[in-house]
Structure 1
Amino acid sequence: MSQPINTLKQQLTLASVSLNEPSSTASLPSPWFVRALQAFSGWLAALFLLGFIATGVVFVMESPLVSLVVGSLLMGGAFALLRAARSDVLEHMALAFSLAGQILVAWPAAEMWGVSANLWWVLLALQCALALVMPSQVHRSMSAFLASLALAMALAAHGLEPVAIGLVVLVLTLLWLNECRWPGWISAIQAWGVGLLAGLLVLQGQAYSGQRGWFLDLGVQWIGPWLANWLGIALVALALSGVIHQAFRQHSQPAIAQRLAMYGAVALVAVLSFYMPGFGAGVTVLLLGFAIGHWLLMGSGVLLLLMAVSSYYYWLDVTLLMKSLMLLAMGALLLTLRLALKRWLLNRWLTLNKSVAVGDANEQ
């Protein structure tokens, strides 16, 4: 009497189906606190090593050419280390070496042009190049973050601080909305998006603190401050229109009335952003997070909105009565938009179910 076949593997073997046994088991990801400890160890080791090297090569900072060569070598070594890195310790050590190399490369530019817009444009180009070529998520996020700060400083030298924030919001929106368009670059786009999001939070925090750009009065003013504010608001409104259009396109093509309502809401947000700086950026990031289901973006959008409302509340040029009325109107607007979207989605769901039921009845 033959033994019963109990396992699926035995059944497939008797059916002449070949099985590919895995050569190695998949490794489990390390917990976050272990990775944080490894990152701290990498930075600590890199700082000790850089300090030991700096004690022997102090003359590097005295020669711009030597500083440029040594900085390039450090960035090249960081690139090679990142290509071979298989642990967080080596990855963060390479990041520390790369940042040290960037400082040495920026030193000759600072001596040539001084602390001016030309220096920040050079640093912006350097950070963009590193964000493209460095094979590390952490390094790409850091380069995108530093690129956003360099862009803000470069534009602040010409009185265009609000334009920098609008550009960061627009680029951030375009990256996250087109995340899946290039499958081979998904990880890089996510890293750039996180870095730009961190840069946006820092820039908005600097704007709310009342500190203007470091070098705002050193360059030629391209346009007036009033036009610069509206240009930055227009960039944020363009990003918000893209987010709303993407959200509608996921369900169906919006009708003419819906498009007019969408453009009216964007215009109203733009007007409110003029009196409440940062409100449009917060709404854009929050809706972007809802559109793509990203919790970090949603949390950052809520934080930006809270910062905007808090800053507006302590604005001394407007009375408390006007502030209260403005906040009341804004809350009513948001509740109305929520109700309208809820009814629209309900009508779409009912229409879809009705069409499916009619189709099933016709088939029967």
Structure 2
Amino acid sequence: MSRSITPLKERLGRAGIPVTEGDGEPALETPWFVRALQAFSGWLAALFLLGFVALGLFTVIEDSIAAGGFGLLLIGAAYGLLQTTPGDFREHLALAASLAGQMLVAWAAGNALGDMSASFWWSLLLLQVILALAMPSLTHRGFSAFAASLALYLALAEGVSAPSLAGGLVLLALTALWLNEFRWPARLRAVQALGYGLLLGLLAIQAMEYFGQSLLLGRYYMGTGLDWLEPWAGDALGMLALLLLLRYVFQHHAGAVAPFVRLAAYGAVAVLMLLSLQAHGLSHGAVVVVLGFAIGNRLVMGFGGLLLLLSISNYYYWLEATLLTKAMTLFALGVMMLAIRWAMRHGWRAGEAEGADQ
């Protein structure tokens, strides 16, 4: 038995998965309230430090080149701090310093470009992508993925007047990321942090779209570029993500899914596509729910439930119909979803029974 265990430990070690040696008790984790206090202390220390630096270098902010250089220096200092012994205090102190550096870089880029145009947001998107991939901090990676989602939204809104494209592209990216969650075992936590950041970004984008507000506080977009694709471009990309997700599930569970279940699933996709023509964003919530079910992640399913509630609430609010018609519509949607759930549960079990008999 020891001969079979040793190669397994070696393979897990090469994959970057730590294996506890001996029969000792595992190390106790730090209580959440202690970690929260350390995080608060890190932010408080960072605010005092940055306030002291700002008072001494106020003239630097007026110069775009100096502000950008000092911002990059702060980001580099945050990266170096994260390379040292890990801890909540250091992690949040580095995050605060990095955010200050990013604001200085954004200030310098805005002054250089003259306005918050599409080029400005594309440059910030590039910066956030680099930070999301390079920073050795899960919190920083998640925040950078979230900020990159918003920067993409603003870049597309300013450049081609198609903000719904951002939601569809973020949905495609997070679907591909979560489906390949275990492809790199050594980077599992980092991939999950990026995935949660993209989910938060998608939720923020959809919420702002539903409320009809601009992320730039009163600044709205002119009808130019690809505005004729609005608002169906995001729904089309959402349906594409759902089809790719179903294809992935059917390929990895070929023997457990009965043929009639596949037909029913594609039929549900067609019905959902028709519903999304009226209830925009419904497909995004459905994709995230199915994604969470496929990978067995209840938190992802929770995000999908929030997206579904947002899209249905938005459709319910703007629907030009009587309250009775609205109530009957919601009743029909609920019955349909319950029927799909019942068909998936029983069809999946029937497929597994047939595979076991063979």
- What's the TM-score once normalised by structure 1's chain length? 0.85
Report which stretch shifted further, 30-39 or 260-269: 260-269
Distance 1:21 1:189 in 2: 26
Query: For residue 126 of structure 1, what is the aligned residue in structure 2?
Result: 127
Distance 1:118 1:317, change over 3 A: farther
Which residue matches 2:308? Answer: 305
Aligned to 2:150: 149
Secondary structure of the 2:226 match is coil
- Residues 181 and 188 in structure 2, CA contact (< 8 A), matched pair in contact too: yes
Q: Which residue of 1 aligns with 2:353?
A: 350
How far residue 277 of structure 1 moved from its aligned partner, in angstroms, is 2.2
Partner amino acid, structure 1, of 2:164: P
Residue 322 of structure 1 deviates from its aligned partner by: 4.2
Report the Cα offset of residue 25 of structure 1.
7.6
Select between 133-142 and 281-290 the one with higher mean Cα deviation.
281-290
- Measure the CA separation in 2 of the matches of 1:250 and 1:289: 15
The code of the aligned residue for 2:212 comes to G
Partner of 1:43: 43
**Residues 252, 46 of structure 1: CA spacing in aligned structure 2 closer, same or farther, 3 A cutoff?**
same
* AA of the residue aligned to 1:302: G
AA matched with 2:139: V
Deviation at 1:224, TM superposition (A): 3.0
Do the aligned residues in 1 keep the contact of 2:174 with 2:195 (CA within 8 Å)?
Answer: yes
Are the equivalent residues in 2 in contact too, given 1:237–1:267 (CA < 8 A)?
no
SS of the residue 1:314 aligns to: helix
Contact 2:231–2:280 at 8 Å: present in 1 too? no
On the 8 A contact 1:286/1:299 being kept in 2, the answer is: yes
Using the TM superposition, give the Cα deviation of residue 216 of structure 1 relative to its aligned residue in structure 2, in angstroms. Answer: 4.6
The residue number in structure 2 matching 1:94 is 94
Deviation at 1:316, TM superposition (A): 4.6
Aligned residues: 333
Deviation at 1:342, TM superposition (A): 2.5
Letter aligned with residue 165 of structure 2: V
Task: Describe the superposition over 1:282-322 as per-residue Cα deviations: whole angstroms up to 9, x where unpaired.
Answer: 11111111111112111111112122222222115344344
Deviation at 1:85, TM superposition (A): 3.6
- 1:31 is displaced (CA, Å) by 1.6
- What is the CA deviation profile of residues 219-254 of structure 1, one whole-angstrom value per residue up to 9, with x for unaligned ones? x722234x2322211111111122223333343265
**2:13 — aligned with what?**
none
Partner of 2:4: none
Gaps of 5+ in 1: 1-19, 356-364
Helix, strand or coil for the counterpart of 1:275? coil
Q: Residues 124-147 of structure 1: CA distance to partner in whole angstroms, max 9, x if unpaired?
A: 000000111111101100100100
Q: What are structure 2's unaligned runs of at least 5 residues?
A: 1-19
* Alignment correspondent of 1:110: 110
1:28 Cα deviation (Å)?
1.8
Q: 2:80 is matched by which residue type in structure 1?
A: A
Aligned to 2:173: 171
**Percent of aligned positions with the same letter in both sequences?**
48
Match of 1:287 in 2: 290
Alignment counterpart, residue 232 of structure 1, candidates 231, 234, 258? 234
Which residue of structure 1 lines up, in the alignment, with residue 250 of structure 2? 248
Paired position in structure 2 for 1:4: none
- The Cα shift of 1:255 comes to 6.5
What TM-score does the superposition give when structure 2 sets the normalisation length?
Answer: 0.86
